[in-house]
Structure 1
Amino acid sequence: MAFKLVIISGAQTGVERAALDWTLKHEIPHGGWCVQGLLASTEAPDARYKLKEGTSEDVLEAISSNVRDAEATLVFTQAAKAVGTAQKAVAQAKKQKKPVLHVHRGILGVSEKIVAFLDKHYIRRLHVTGSCEADEAGLGAWAASELEKAKSILDRRPD
């Protein structure tokens, strides 16, 4: 079974931008919502990201919209406890009664857990998010690496 997901993500530095960069690298369909004003800011995301700008500068609005537009949410953190925007994403997924998988650096076999989560819930539109790079440096690179491994597992399956 080849990798057949649409990735939904915002434009927060770290996991979200790493996930979007990863989709561009592999020509994987993607989209998502970002906060109002970000597309024109000095930290504007890559123009190739297929993002929609929200009507507010409140990050919770963007998170809520991304959770709504996806079938499930995948949250990456360094620490075992999600905080900040990562915790808001977990809370929004639960509030909207959507499946959520929180993975962190202390878990073994993360890519296998991601594949099992996708299989269990028959996910085709996945919201990928996590802590921002300023809070947990290096998290984006780790998340992209785990997505790469999960894609490799899925790509090896027969259709």
Structure 2
Amino acid sequence: MASGILRRNFIPVIEKLVSGGQTGADIAALDVALRHKFPHGGWCPKGRKSEAGPIPDRYRLQETPSASYLQRTEWNARHTDGTVIFTLAAKLTGGSLRTAEFARKHGKPLIHLSRSGGPYNSAEQLQGFVDEHGIRVLNVAGSRDSKEPELYSWVIQILEDAFFWSENHPGALGGPGEG
């Protein structure tokens, strides 16, 4: 794959998007799945807890026995084939850092994408990660709205460009970056 050019004919091997339902990156992934009628799910804390209040029932999430965010984070990392962590900042902190630790603990591949890589470069990196590791069930994690309020829209852009380009651009001759 040429650098900086998305494969517009990329057919994702992923079969499901998973997240924990927190505001920000998590909800962005679930909203993309709903928009495209794509399978989704994941674990969320008991009581469907998020910083914005209870997670709406339209998201097909299962509650963990505990209200702990950490249990949800670990279970999503453990029960998927790999994890993508989205942040605007270049360095992982807080729950995003814990997600990476849980993925490593359970021997799962992970990729951290920060906005400093640019939108199309990040989508291309995500496509390569999914291909390289044969990801079928992808855990999507990252910062919450209170920490990085602009992350939600960026995550939507990356997931749409990486996995749903042809649906969003019917009849397009080339992907982003192509002349």
1:41 deviates by 9.4
Tell me the TM-score normalized by structure 2: 0.81
Q: 1:77 to 1:39 in 2, by over 3 A?
A: closer
Q: Report the structure, 1 or 2, having the larger helix content.
A: 1
Structure 2 residue ranges without an equivalent (≥5): 1-9, 173-179
Aligned: 1:142 with 2:151: no
CA distance in 1, matches of 2:166, 2:80: 19
> CA RMSD of the aligned region, Å?
2.0
Give aligned-pair identity as a percent: 35
Q: Which residue of 2 aligns with 1:66?
A: 76
Structure 2 residue 142 is the aligned partner of structure 1 residue 130: yes
1:116 to 120, 128, 142: 128
Structure 1 unmatched runs, 5+: none
In 1, Cα distance between the equivalents of 2:18 and 2:52? 23
- Using the alignment, how far apart are the partners of 1:154 and 1:125 within structure 2? 21
> Match of 2:116, SS?
coil
Over 3 Å counting, the alpha-carbon distance change for 1:52 and 1:153 in structure 2 is same
Q: TM-score, normalised by structure 1?
A: 0.91
Q: 1:78 to 1:42 in 2, by over 3 A?
A: closer
Partners of 2:88 and 2:13 in 1: CA distance? 27
For the residue of structure 1 that corresponds to 2:20, the secondary structure is coil
Rounded Cα–Cα distance in structure 2 between residues aligned with 1:96 and 1:41: 27
Q: Work out whether 1:48 is the aligned partner of 2:58.
A: yes
| Residues 134/121 of structure 1: CA separation in 2 closer, same or farther (3 Å cut) | same
**Higher gyration radius (CA):** 2
Instruction: Tell me, yes or no, if structure 1 residue 21 matches structure 2 residue 31.
Output: yes
Aligned to 2:94: 84
